[in-house]
């Protein structure tokens, strides 16, 4: 607590040998961040410039890439500052903002992946009705919902947490995520239950929907030899990336609720996997 400005600061305890390897960490993460921004915006620029790519599939890809940049921007700049700082701290309001942005954008990621799966399902399974179903208004509605709905879901626990008193000032991690609950003096059962509901609706349901649509695509493609190989090459890499990200997010969300005593090194590795997930996603969708 800084009494001069009445601001509460939270200390990150998830860094491993940060004082010893701070410059190595900084160079690696800074390089990764620049690659994410440059590669994503290059592809988005290509989609914007070429009118032949102004199709729903490419519009959703551009939205996913923009979301990836926003997701990375919520994490990377603060990480880079922490690597070069003597103390890895963050104000409590800024921590809540990072928590909100982190999970709302992660939810948007799953929503956009679901929409992309639906788009491909319609194009392969109902090609004659594709132009009727995937109209411009429909695409715009999907894009708006992709960012608005997850943000509204995550905003509820944030507003509840603002009113809560915190008694702990150390987070066992490198960013503000679901472990913020552990800072509160009194644990809220309502917050835990609501968090699980959001996890089911924002992660589990989209994952099941994507598996269903891609299974239908593969079944139909299996009957048509002309598109069987192309469909397999398109769907299978995306499913592998989806499974990877889903497992990481599930670990991140359930970590605070199960109260597991996870070694600090493993926590750091898992957190960095989430941070570096974006380039893997981009390469998979653009292959």
Tell me: the pLDDT tens digits for 136-150?
A: 999 999 999 999 999
Distances (CA, A) of 104 to 99, 132, 142, 246, 247: 8, 30, 16, 15, 17
pLDDT averaged over every residue in the chain? 82
Assigned domain for 4 exists: no
Q: Are 137 and 56 in contact (CB under 8 A)?
A: no
d(CA 237, CA 18): 34
Assigned domain for 214 exists: yes
Assigned domain for 1 exists: no
Q: Are 117 and 218 in contact (CB under 8 A)?
A: no
Indicate whether 2 pLDDT > 90: no
pLDDT score of 278: 57
pLDDT class for 124, splitting at 50, 70, 90? confident
| Domain containing residue 210: CATH number | 1.20.1070.10
pLDDT class for 4, splitting at 50, 70, 90? very low
d(CA 253, CA 264): 17
Tens digit of each residue's pLDDT (9 = 90 or more) over 53-95:
888 988 998 998 899 889 989 999 999 999 998 888 899 889 9
pLDDT score of 260: 62
Residue 200: DSSP 8-state: I
What average pLDDT does range 205-210 have in this prediction? 90
Tens digit of each residue's pLDDT (9 = 90 or more) over 216-254:
887 777 766 655 565 666 677 677 777 777 777 777 777
Between residues 245 and 197, which one has the greater pLDDT? Answer: 197
Q: What percent of the chain clears pLDDT 70, i.e. is strictly above it?
A: 85
Indicate whether 5 pLDDT > 60: no
Full residue range of the structural domain in which residue 86 is found: 9-160+169-286
Assigned domain for 3 exists: no
* Total number of domains constituting the chain: 1
Assigned domain for 2 exists: no
Least confident range of 5-19, 78-92, 108-122, 247-261: 247-261
pLDDT score of 3: 42
pLDDT score of 6: 56
Looking up tokens 């194009």, which residue turns up? 123
Assigned domain for 66 exists: yes
Distances (CA, A) of 172 to 81, 87, 175, 277: 18, 14, 9, 21
Strands 9-12 and 170-171: parallel
d(CA 274, CA 257): 19
């Amino acid at each position: 607590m800084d009494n001069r400005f009445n601001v509460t600061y939270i200390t990150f305890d998830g860094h491993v040998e940060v004082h010893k390897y701070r410059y190595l960490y900084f160079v690696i993460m800074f390089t990764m961040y620049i690659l994410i921004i440059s590669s994503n915006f290059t592809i988005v620029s290509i989609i914007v410039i070429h009118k032949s790519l102004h199709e729903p599939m490419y519009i959703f890809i551009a939205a996913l890439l923009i979301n990836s940049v926003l997701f990375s921007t919520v994490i990377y700049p603060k990480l880079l500052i922490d690597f070069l700082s003597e103390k890895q701290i963050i104000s409590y309001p800024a921590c809540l903002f990072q928590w909100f942005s982190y999970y709302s954008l992660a939810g948007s990621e799953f929503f956009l992946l679901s929409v992309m799966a639906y788009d491909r399902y319609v194009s392969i399974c109902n090609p004659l009705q594709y132009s009727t179903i995937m109209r411009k208004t429909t695409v715009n509605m999907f894009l708006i919902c992709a960012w608005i709905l997850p943000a509204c879901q995550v905003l509820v626990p944030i507003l509840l947490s603002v009113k809560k008193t915190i008694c702990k000032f150390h987070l066992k991690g490198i960013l503000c995520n679901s472990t913020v609950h552990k800072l509160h003096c009194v644990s809220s059962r309502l917050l835990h239950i609501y968090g699980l509901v959001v996890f089911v609706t924002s992660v589990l349901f989209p994952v099941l929907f994507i598996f269903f649509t891609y299974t239908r695509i593969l079944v139909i493609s299996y009957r048509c030899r002309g598109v069987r190989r192309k469909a397999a090459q398109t769907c299978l890499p995306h499913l592998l990336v989806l499974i990877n990200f889903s497992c990481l997010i599930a670990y991140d969300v359930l970590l605070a609720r199960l109260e597991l005593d996870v070694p600090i090194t493993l926590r750091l590795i898992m957190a960095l996997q989430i941070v570096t997930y974006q380039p893997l996603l981009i390469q998979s969708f653009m292959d």
